[in-house]
Amino acid sequence: MALAVVLIRGTQQKTDLGLNLTLANACPKCGTPLPAVRVPKNFRQALWGGWTCAKCGVELDKWGRPRSD
């Protein structure tokens, strides 16, 4: 059950280990609607989710927040 605890905690705290059940639908920076099908552009996106905005190029995590790292 440790894994479940990690997932629940990650979801509450919005970490990479969380499960995002309410996907953001627009880029928080430029407002461009995000595609329903998100093709990962790098290994991290494939692993953790997230995407890169096609218009402004900002990289977002699966919570729709710009990645700062």
Q: Which residues bind Zn ion (CB under 5 A)?
A: 27, 29-30, 32, 53, 55-56
* Closer by beta carbon to Zn ion, 6 or else 25: 25
Q: Which is nearer to Zn ion, 25 or 32 (CB)?
A: 32
The pairs formed by 17-22 with CB atoms below 8 angstroms and a separation of 24 or more are 18/63, 20/49, 20/62, 20/63
Tokens of 35: 């595609």
Residue labelled with tokens 């402004």: 56
At closest approach, how far in Å is the CB of 3 from Zn ion? 33
27 vs 62, which CB is nearer to Zn ion?
A: 27
